[in-house]
Amino acid sequence: MMETVMLVGSILAALLFFWLWKRTRSVWLAYAHLSMLTFTGFVLSLQSFCTWSGNALGMCTWVVSKVLGYGVPIAVALTFVFGWIVMPFLYKQRFADLGFTHKLLRLVPGARLWIVDTAKPYAFALKKDVFITVGMFDILTKKEQEAVLLHELGHVRQKTSLRKFTAAVMRLVSPVSAFYTHKVLNAEERDADAFAASIQGTTRYVLSARAKLNKA
């Protein structure tokens, strides 16, 4: 009986946190949703195990409370710490000032550009750091490079990098949020494109850069 109450409660809590996140885009609500979803998965797994093994109800309740009480918060915390704090240090190769980038970086106070030594072309932003790979400079023209940098600076300026990271995690883990997080990510990308186009005065270069990267 207790496991059933916990299961129903965790499902309702997960749906409530998801609904609140949709309305507010608050990061902590997203992680609360993921925590409740993980909680639900653990309860279902342990219920199945207890039924199959014939263990005493009291023992199963104790296992559920211990695993969920300690394991779930630790797992969620480690996901956040790795993605938001550790990962940037793994990517930082060398700080870059490539002439044309200096003026663009001044558009967002505190922003820095880091070059990642890999031939695969991609770029992303975390906090106030923008990461662009060597491969990007190999396939894009100077104006397209500027467009990519401005796009990522748009994410930094609008402080969307944490929301993007959280939405990406939710998209992978939460079937409930898969469709909506796709809309969130697309909206963030459109806003960043609009920022780049507003500085360059045209959408030509951000669109051509995106086309080249999609083919790469």
pLDDT digit string, tens, across residues 76-128? 666 656 555 555 555 555 545 556 677 888 888 888 888 887 888 988 888 78
CB atoms closer than 10 angstroms to residue 172:
10
Give pLDDT, residue 27: 66
Rounded to 5°, the CA angle 46-174-83 comes to: 100
Higher-pLDDT residue of 66, 136: 136
Residues 164 and 155 sit within 8 Å (Cβ to Cβ): yes
18 Cβ contact partners less than 8 Å away, ≥ 6 residues apart: 33, 174, 176, 177
Q: Which long-range contacts (CB under 8 A, 24 or more apart) does 187-192 make?
A: 188/155, 188/158, 188/160, 188/163, 188/164, 191/154, 191/158, 191/160, 192/151, 192/152, 192/154, 192/155, 192/158, 192/160
Q: How confident is the model at residue 63 (pLDDT cuts 50, 70, 90)?
A: low
Poorest-confidence range of 136-140, 173-177, 181-185, 201-205? 173-177
pTM: 0.64
pLDDT > 70 fraction of the chain, expressed in percent and rounded: 64
Distance (Å, whole) CA 191 – CA 173: 25
Tell me the three-class secondary structure of 178-208, residue by residue: HHHHHHHHHHHHHHHHHHHHHHHCCCHHHHH
The one-letter code for the residue type at 45 is S
Q: The tokens of 106 are what?
A: 């001044």
Give me the pLDDT at residue 7, please.
67
Give the H or E element holding residue 114. Answer: strand 112-116
Strand partners, 116: 133
Nearest alpha-carbon partner for 146 in 211, 215, 205, 208 = 205
Residue type, 59: M
Strand, coil or helix: 140 = coil
